[in-house]
Structure 1
Amino acid sequence: MVFSWRGGPEPRCLLLSLLLLASWETGSGQVHYSVPEEAKHGTFVGRIAQDLGLELAELVPRLFRVASKGRGDLLEVNLQNGILFVNSRIDREELCGRRLDCSIHLEVVVDRPLQVFHVEVEVKDINDNPPVFLVKEQKLFVSESRMPDSRFPLEGAFDADIGANSVLNYRLSYSDFFMLDVYSKNEENNRVELVLRKSLDREEASEHNLFLTATDEGKPELTGTVQLLVTVLDVNDNAPSFEQPEYQVRLFENSANGTIVIRLNASDRDEGPNGEISYSFNSLVPPMVSDQFSIDSNTGEITVRKNLDFEKANSYKIRIDATDRGHPPMVGHCTILVKVLDINDNAPQVSLTSVALPVREDAPLGSVIALISASDRDAGANGQVTCTLSPHVPFKLVSTFKNYYSLVLDSALDRESVATYELLVTARDGGSPPLSATASVSVQVADVNDNAPAFAQPEYTVFVRENNPPGRHIFTVSARDADAQENARVSYSLVERRVGERALSSYVSVHAESGRVYALQPLDHEELEVLQVQVSARDAGVPPLGSNVTLQVFVLDENDNAPALLPPGAGGGGGATSQLVSRSVGAGHVVAKVRAVDADSGYNAWLSFELQAAAGAARSPFRVGLYTGEVSTTRALDEADAPRQRLLVLVKDHGEPALTATATVLLSLVESGQAPRASSRASAGARSTEAALVDVNAYLVIGICAVSSLLVLTLLLYTALRCSAPRSEGACGPGRPPLVCSSAVGSWSCSQQRRQRVCSGEGPPKADLMAFSPSLPPCPVGDMEVHGQSSGGDNSGKVGYYFITFLFCFGTVLYFNPISLKCILFILCYIA
């Protein structure tokens, strides 16, 4: 590298040798490198990846990056080989001025996990700045009357380098009258003086041209030159003098304008005008000094003109001239060194870098959230900064290096409890009183899928009328997820299972987004009374979470089944049946019975019977029981009655609208002598029935003994029912009328539904079958199946009645299986 200097006699070539140092500072975790200033682009600084313990292959995936606050891109890292190199020109004087310690602080940041390293790169000074004089020519006025050894201060040169590169040596061009004297009191004040070797004679030489050369001690040496023009003055041979050539003053920064710095007092041994002194700044005083201070020319009092700022300049050197009024005037000189003392007038500054937001709520403890740096322009204790965190949050500050901190996670997070934390970082210096600054950090907590969708209740009851149109909306399920965004997006699905021989999905479906449940086909109460549907709610998290809810869909009955007449083989008189009736029977004698069932339930299955009169026919001597279906005589039959009677019985349910069926009963009136065979056949049938009933009763007794522990309760309930029997139908409380099926021991209406309504003396009805036992006298019937009564029949009927009563009470208390109960009741009703 070749440097050319103005004022030098010729260009000189300088070979620059770069010495690179890299070492670890023991125990601090900080990497130190050094690099000379003015190093070329690409100059090797250090293997930073290797020294930081990082693998080359992980630099790019972990987003390896280097940040230098306020230093631009002076240094760069090659991500392929992990080498730190010089990226652009480094000028130490531009970076640090004349400070002895000059370094570039780098923050090396890698992610996954987030780590930060601190690297100090020391910039070594090289001798790249020659000594510079402020002016090209210095003028001195020397009276010819000055005595030998008189001294004239000169303005020395300035070298921007430091250390040996800034140590200056001066030499003066040869002169018979002058020589050079350099006095080094300290680095900041090198006094260069021109010494008069012998008396001057203005008549011999009125001017002397000299050259002052300053040479630094760098390698290679650099020089600077200034011309000295000495003018020889005549007459006034005593110059003003100060008590001491140098004064030192200490002032606090921010001193008020007008504050007195010093009051000078120079003396002149001359008299008259030659002894009158005026004070002024030396012509070589830089403008920054003359702008900052002012001097009273008469009193020599120096005052502060503008507020002092330690952070801008911590010292001033003021050269003062004391000039008399002689002809020519003579000048005395002194130097004032002003030291500016720091006060705590700068608040700390806080900055956040590498903020890793948002933070997952399942982040591990110790995770680095952000990097915080604090600085203070003051010096000493006034510039020492400490940082605190408020309020009490699950985070803490960890000091990493000097005024650098890491904001780390200190305890577990829960986004559902707190989604955002507003943190306040307070930086406070050590001054008195201390100054502080704050920086706010908003930490958002990112959601993770840690909450399953939840229903308001685990089970819902839904009522749907049968014969619904396909696709009808029957219910809407809704689950709430405490998470956010995708983790809270709930979708619904049906939990598939078998309902009988069919899949549940053939009955209902659920909309995945809205949770609306639809019936895919018409439901049939007679086929399916209760449909249990289980709906699953799943969120969109990874992995997804879910929960289930159960819908109990009750299918409500509609009157969609007309009464069905029982065929004669089942003991009914349905269809067209023919019976023989003796003319000798009296009024109220049961001659036939119409039996019918309805597949519906409740009111829709409650049947009533009415006799329809034939058009144009005389008043019939027969009637039908409204709820029993028993056809009986209304009066004694006589010869005027037609021998063949055709009766139309209308069977009607109580639904809305009511549905009907018609049964035809053909009665043949015969004389009393022609009926015994039918009666004997009826008696034989009764005897066989009694034998079968005795066998059944034997099994029933065995069953009653098996549940002997409930016998007492059964007897009590039976007694209660017997005691309440005379109260008529109102004993069951309000409700629908009973369904009736007539028999010799009472009247019953047998429904094919699995749910029965049992009327008891305690509590509300439990099912839809009601029973009562009217006192109707039995009578023999022809070919129809009519049970007679005998003493044995009475006993068996009573035992059967007791057993039926027991079954009703037992089913009411213990919610006995309605299907089994209905089957037993139907068999007993048929046997009875």
Structure 2
Amino acid sequence: MVAWQNEPVMKQLLQLILLHTAWEMGSGQLHYSVPEESQHGTFVGRIAQDLGLEVSELVPRMFRMVSKGWKKDFFEVNVQNGILFVNSRIDREELCARNVDCSIHLEVIVDKPLRVFHVEVEIRDINDNAPIFSGNEQILSIAEVITSTGTRFPLVGASDADIGPNALLTYKLRPNDYFSVEQKTDYHHNKPLAIVLRKQLDREEIPTHHLLLIANDEGKPELTGTVQLVINVLDANDNPPVFNQSVYKIKLVENAANGTLVIKLNATDLDERTNGEISYSFSIHVAPDVRNIFSINTNTGEITVIGAVDFEERNIFDLHIVADDKGNPPLSGHCQVIIEVLDVNDNAPEVSVSSLSVPVSEDSPPGTVVALISVSDKDSEANGQVTCSIRPPGLPFKLVSTFKNYYSLVVAEPLDREHNTEYGLMVMAQDHGDPSLSASSTVVAPISDINDNAPSFAQPAYTVFVKENNPPGAHIFTVSAFDPDIAENSLISYWIDEKLLPLSSYISVHSESGKLYALQPLDYEELKLLEFQVNAKDAGLPSLCGNVTIQVFVVDENDNAPAVTGQTEDNSILLVVPVSAGHMLGKIHALDADSGYNAWLRYELHEGNSGPWRVGLYSGEISTIRSVDEAEGNRNHNLHVVVKDHGNPQLSTTATLSVSLVTSAQAIQTNIRLPRTDEISKPKADIVNLYLIIAICSVSSLFLLAVITYVALRCQFQPKEPMVYGPGTATLVCASEVGSWSYSNRHSHILTGVNGEALAKNDLMVFSPNMPASSENGKQQDLLCGTVSIIHGRNFSIFPFSSDVHVYIEWKFNVMTSCC
């Protein structure tokens, strides 16, 4: 008795020690205890303080508590002071029946950051149930005389719904001379109870004995139950049936099929004939639901299965069997059959996903909690042990065990929304039974975007060709950047970087479309190249930027007429006659501010000119076509020379020279210096000019044929890249995979001096690449990114050219090409 009285104190002390140890190990579980039948508002514990939470944080962090597996909320937390209290009446017997351990598991969840705590509240038993007998009276029949003293007669004891000391029963009889009560200690099952005959019975003296049996529990306060014993004293049949065991213990696998034999009982009776014939039956104390699961054959004593045996519903059965003989009066024997049900793996695990925090930001660090997952299995031991995993493997998530059968789904690796916008994963739970059973739950985790990608262009630089004299506001090019982010993180705006060169008066860019506009007409003679950067910025926070280099080449148009320079002060020439045919009088020098073909000049005599004169088509040299004698010596001639370029439309200018023919005597009088012989006598000038014209025409024809062939192939296999700003286009025709060349000449003439010497001049065309080539589909492609400069004195003309060709052309018709 002393040991049992101290047991609650020892048990509470042990629980406190275990709680402290578990808390120190960081298990995250709190343990409280509260007696059953506690009133509403009963203090349980300072849960916020014990969990290390500030009371002021409970509401902002969405403090909430979940009671899993119960229909009622037995407990509540006051978020104003962090105290856990009883919310509704708790009946331990209703919750846990006769299980020794009875507790309610609570989940405490807080957000920002998401955390989960586990709290276990033990429901302590109080002595609120008195011992109860199955009936108001029990009737026994005992034969007179022949029943010897010391004979035991089994009784059905009382039951107590409480546990521990509150259910430990002791029995006593009101004092009498014939019977005493006997009780054996068995803490695992019902205590066998019997009365013992202490004095011989005499039916004639006392035919019926009325006894009061009292059952007391050891709770505080002590509770009592009673039953009336009616003992009838009988004659005759003096040997009751006897079982070979008083208690039978059987193990039965759950889900046993109907008709399965549990046990065959055997009782013997030393009497003969009807007094020795035995009939088996369940005691009246066997519950009806048990009778629906098992049956007993009255003749053979075989107990068989007739209903569903489910370990999860009930794992042990306590059957009381009665063997009655057919004597008069009949005698009975009793035994107890304890059936232990063995578990089989017939329940698949259950998976529950809660507190799903989606979408998941792509910058979430490893360890970020995405969801809380709990698993359960109704089976026991290995059949109820569950392993949890994620399918398919290789996802950037993992499961972290927080408590027994509780997991957190967390981020395991860095996320990238541009690589994968959403993850679908399956949480698989599998028990350790044989065969193993499993269950799964699907979790969809979309990934939210952050601004982690700067705008980028397809190329690091672009080359644009624009004809001069473009209309103001002409659209010359469009830049387009790409940002793999979404929403405002991919909303791009454009602007021109003017830190290195102010361009606001020349070029502008539309901030949304990326279209480039020329704000004013461009003049090739003033500006040949504009190089600047266009920046692209997204609308994310913080915003990210990218840039691209734009090279705008101004393409020459024929907008400048030739200009004649180097004439004499009075635009006159004195010629001493006679003069032979082919005599060179002088040379016209004209310049054109344009470039290329627009600056290639030709010279012609005006149709109204007469006399023995001619002018070199490309040299500008003025010479005689026949002899001039003294008969024409006093005549004056006005020569009108028309200088034309090769542009489209063609521009021209006219130079007028006055030629006076004088005799030798007149020349001396006028003090006019005659030309030197080497200035006048050039017998091979016409032949050289003819060769020059033939060579230029030949080269031009070959070049035109090559250009036509190249354009046809290029247009068939690769689209051109014209920059349109109106009805005209600026198109480059110079790039080729095998090399090509472009020709341009700037031809000028300078009026010869008095000595008749012509200034020798070479025009040199030079290419210098300034942009890299790009590769597409494994094949090297050329970019229209070169320049050709025609160098003549201090004048330069810029032309686009292919990056894989170097061309050098001298006016002496030495043409050299090289392809790299």
| 2:723 counterpart residue number | none
What's the offset of the Cα at 1:462?
Answer: 2.1
Matched, 1:610 2:610: no
One-letter amino acid of the structure 1 residue matched with residue 544 of structure 2: L
Describe the shift of the 1:113–1:365 C-alpha distance in structure 2 as closer, same or farther (beyond 3 A): same
Describe the shift of the 1:517–1:306 C-alpha distance in structure 2 as closer, same or farther (beyond 3 A): farther
The 1-side partners of 2:47 and 2:244 are apart by 59
> Partner of 1:50: helix, strand, or coil?
helix
Describe the shift of the 1:417–1:149 C-alpha distance in structure 2 as closer, same or farther (beyond 3 A): same
Structure 1 residues not aligned, in runs of 5+: 1-17, 688-722, 739-762, 774-783
What's the offset of the Cα at 1:601?
Answer: 1.9
| 2:816 counterpart residue number | none
Deviations 1:369-416 (A, max 9, x none): 444444333333443444455635555544433333444455545555
One-letter amino acid of the structure 1 residue matched with residue 259 of structure 2: G
Matched, 1:91 2:94: no
The 2-side partners of 1:508 and 1:234 are apart by 132
The 1-side partners of 2:158 and 2:380 are apart by 29
The 1-side partners of 2:657 and 2:693 are apart by 31
Describe the shift of the 1:584–1:427 C-alpha distance in structure 2 as closer, same or farther (beyond 3 A): same
Correspondences of 1:165-564 after superposition (within 5 Å) = 165-170=166-171, 180-193=181-194, 214-224=215-225, 239-326=240-327, 329-388=330-389, 391-392=393-394, 395-416=397-418, 426-431=428-433, 435-438=437-440, 446-483=448-485, 486-497=488-499, 499=501, 503-559=502-558, 561-564=559-562
What's the offset of the Cα at 1:265?
Answer: 1.7
Correspondences of 1:720-799 after superposition (within 5 Å) = 730=695, 734-735=699-700, 768-769=744-745, 786-789=752-755
Query: Of 622, 643, 649, which aligns to 1:657?
Result: 649
Describe the shift of the 1:785–1:600 C-alpha distance in structure 2 as closer, same or farther (beyond 3 A): closer
Describe the shift of the 1:428–1:634 C-alpha distance in structure 2 as closer, same or farther (beyond 3 A): same
Structure 1 stretch displaced more, 644-653 or 175-184: 175-184
Describe the shift of the 1:118–1:771 C-alpha distance in structure 2 as closer, same or farther (beyond 3 A): same
> Partner of 2:221: helix, strand, or coil?
coil
Deviations 1:731-769 (A, max 9, x none): 89734999xxxxxxxxxxxxxxxxxxxxxxxx9778733
What's the offset of the Cα at 1:250?
Answer: 1.9
| 1:823 counterpart residue number | 794
Q: TM-score, normalised by structure 2?
A: 0.73
| 1:101 counterpart residue number | 101
What's the offset of the Cα at 1:552?
Answer: 1.6
The 1-side partners of 2:789 and 2:327 are apart by 141
Contact 2:144-2:233 at 8 Å conserved across structures? no
Contact 2:597-2:745 at 8 Å conserved across structures? no
> Partner of 2:794: helix, strand, or coil?
helix
Contact 1:573-1:665 at 8 Å conserved across structures? no
| 2:618 counterpart residue number | 627
What's the offset of the Cα at 1:623?
Answer: 3.7
Contact 2:602-2:618 at 8 Å conserved across structures? yes
> Partner of 1:494: helix, strand, or coil?
strand
One-letter amino acid of the structure 2 residue matched with residue 527 of structure 1: E
> Partner of 1:526: helix, strand, or coil?
coil
What's the offset of the Cα at 1:331?
Answer: 3.6
One-letter amino acid of the structure 1 residue matched with residue 618 of structure 2: Y
The 1-side partners of 2:395 and 2:768 are apart by 62
One-letter amino acid of the structure 2 residue matched with residue 74 of structure 1: F
| 2:781 counterpart residue number | none
Correspondences of 1:109-188 after superposition (within 5 Å) = 109-134=109-134, 137-138=136-137, 140=139, 142=141, 145=144, 147=147, 153-170=154-171, 180-188=181-189
> Partner of 1:49: helix, strand, or coil?
helix
What's the offset of the Cα at 1:340?
Answer: 1.6
Deviations 1:217-242 (A, max 9, x none): 33334445566677777766654332
Contact 2:744-2:765 at 8 Å conserved across structures? no
Describe the shift of the 1:530–1:729 C-alpha distance in structure 2 as closer, same or farther (beyond 3 A): farther
Contact 1:498-1:504 at 8 Å conserved across structures? no
The 1-side partners of 2:769 and 2:348 are apart by 85
The 2-side partners of 1:104 and 1:277 are apart by 49
What's the offset of the Cα at 1:311?
Answer: 1.9
What's the offset of the Cα at 1:660?
Answer: 3.6
Describe the shift of the 1:82–1:825 C-alpha distance in structure 2 as closer, same or farther (beyond 3 A): closer
The 1-side partners of 2:415 and 2:248 are apart by 65
Structure 1 stretch displaced more, 422-431 or 315-324: 422-431
Contact 2:471-2:520 at 8 Å conserved across structures? yes
Q: TM-score, normalised by structure 1?
A: 0.72
The 2-side partners of 1:736 and 1:497 are apart by 47
Structure 2 residues not aligned, in runs of 5+: 1-11, 680-687, 704-738, 771-785, 798-810, 812-820
One-letter amino acid of the structure 2 residue matched with residue 529 of structure 1: K
Deviations 1:697-741 (A, max 9, x none): xxxxxxxxxxxxxxxxxxxxxxxxxx9x98876389734999xxx
What's the offset of the Cα at 1:486?
Answer: 4.6
Contact 2:139-2:230 at 8 Å conserved across structures? yes
| 1:31 counterpart residue number | 30
The Cα RMSD (Å) is 4.8
Contact 1:127-1:218 at 8 Å conserved across structures? yes
Contact 1:141-1:233 at 8 Å conserved across structures? no
The 2-side partners of 1:816 and 1:337 are apart by 105
One-letter amino acid of the structure 2 residue matched with residue 627 of structure 1: Y
Deviations 1:133-160 (A, max 9, x none): 45x5455363665847766544433333
What's the offset of the Cα at 1:535?
Answer: 1.8
One-letter amino acid of the structure 1 residue matched with residue 794 of structure 2: C
One-letter amino acid of the structure 1 residue matched with residue 593 of structure 2: A
Describe the shift of the 1:824–1:415 C-alpha distance in structure 2 as closer, same or farther (beyond 3 A): closer
Structure 1 stretch displaced more, 234-243 or 73-82: 234-243
| Paired positions, count | 718
Describe the shift of the 1:77–1:681 C-alpha distance in structure 2 as closer, same or farther (beyond 3 A): farther
| 1:704 counterpart residue number | none
Contact 1:562-1:598 at 8 Å conserved across structures? yes
- Structure with bigger helix share is 1
Describe the shift of the 1:511–1:265 C-alpha distance in structure 2 as closer, same or farther (beyond 3 A): same
What's the offset of the Cα at 1:115?
Answer: 3.6
Query: Of 545, 566, 573, which aligns to 1:571?
Result: 566
The 2-side partners of 1:58 and 1:818 are apart by 77
> Partner of 1:504: helix, strand, or coil?
coil
| 1:75 counterpart residue number | 75
